[in-house]
């Protein structure tokens, strides 16, 4: 949370930043951020209070550094890929590549801040470039992540496409978002997506009654 104060192992006072650059959507169920970094840019120290899903719009090699001094983690996210992440210690993210880095970060409030204490979601999940965790669906969706908590698909739309979504909430995010951010919340059931381009569709499976 922005403004929260923590201390480094050396005793230095660190003022934490938000988990993303700007909020694109916020309701009782999810909060969706834009995370974008030019080559060489660093997103400052921050701490997640909710498990979250990363939807990659533009990939670049990146390095995650930990405030506690643990070994850094090196990432190479790719356009159309996704990551489902549990809470983690205070960290910062640096774009160490030569390409623009951008994602949509979807915080899952009912697994975090809406609970007395955050849910243990295990290690999460991560897509693999060039591999699909199952066959495509009749409505055109291609699977990216299939986890008991969340399902992530991509779908190409040429004008309009009807999606046969389950009766649980979904987040829909454009891979080419435009000025409005390209993110919407759908309570569940059939949805017609209009406009041409590619979209992420995130099923919040953990909310199944």
Nearest to 148 by CA among 203, 188, 103: 203
pLDDT tens-digit map of 93-112:
999 999 999 999 999 999 99
- Residue-wise pLDDT tens digits, 12-43: 899 999 999 999 999 999 999 999 999 999 99
Which domains can be identified in the chain, with CATH numbers? 5-118 (2.60.120.10), 142-207 (2.60.120.10)
* Residue 60 scores a pLDDT above 90: yes
What is the reported pLDDT for 2?
75
Q: Which residues make beta-bridge pairs with 35?
A: 103
Structure tokens at 97: 């590549």
- Answer whether 0.75 is exceeded by the pTM: yes
What does each C-alpha distance from 62 to 121, 167, 198 come to in angstroms? Answer: 24, 36, 24
């Amino acid at each position: 949370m922005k403004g929260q104060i923590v201390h480094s192992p050396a005793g230095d006072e660190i003022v934490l930043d938000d988990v993303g650059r700007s909020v694109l959507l916020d309701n009782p169920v999810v909060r969706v951020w834009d995370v974008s970094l030019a080559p060489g840019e660093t997103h400052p120290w921050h701490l997640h209070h909710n498990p979250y899903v990363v939807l990659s719009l533009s990939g670049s090699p990146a390095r995650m550094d930990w405030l506690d001094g643990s070994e850094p983690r090196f990432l190479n996210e790719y356009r159309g890929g996704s990551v489902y992440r549990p809470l983690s210690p205070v960290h910062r993210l640096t774009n160490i590549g030569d390409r623009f880095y951008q994602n949509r970060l979807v915080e899952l409030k009912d697994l975090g801040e809406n609970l007395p204490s955050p849910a243990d979601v295990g290690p999460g999940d991560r897509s693999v470039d060039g591999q699909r965790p199952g066959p495509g669906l009749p409505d055109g969706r291609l699977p990216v992540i299939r986890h008991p908590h969340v399902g992530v698909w991509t779908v190409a739309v040429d004008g309009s496409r009807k999606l046969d979504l389950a009766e649980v909430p979904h987040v829909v995010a454009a891979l080419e978002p435009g000025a409005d951010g390209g993110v919407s919340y759908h309570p569940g059931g059939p949805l017609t997506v209009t406009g041409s381009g590619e979209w992420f569709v995130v099923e919040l499976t953990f909310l199944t009654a």
